[in-house]
């Protein structure tokens, strides 16, 4: 097996931050109704 093969680096902290940012933007788009106001 070739030892010089580099594995891609996965920055879990950055990926988690980007996911949280996208979720927050998505949640802001949800209409605030009686049914979901407690969940937001």
User: pLDDT tens digit string along 1-40?
Assistant: 556 777 777 799 999 999 999 999 998 888 888 887 776 5
CA distances from 33 to 5, 16, 29, 30 (A): 53, 28, 12, 9
Scored b (16 or more CB within 10 A) or e, 19-32 reads eeeeeeeeeeeeee
What is the pTM assigned to this prediction?
Answer: 0.58
| pLDDT on residue 24 | 93
Residue 4 dihedral angles phi and psi, to the nearest 5°: -85, 0
Q: What is the CA radius of gyration of the chain?
A: 19
| pLDDT on residue 16 | 95
| pLDDT on residue 30 | 86
């Amino acid at each position: 097996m070739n030892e010089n093969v580099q594995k891609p680096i996965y920055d879990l902290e950055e990926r988690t931050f980007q996911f949280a940012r996208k979720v927050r933007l998505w949640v802001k788009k949800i209409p605030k109704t009686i049914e979901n106001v407690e969940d937001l």
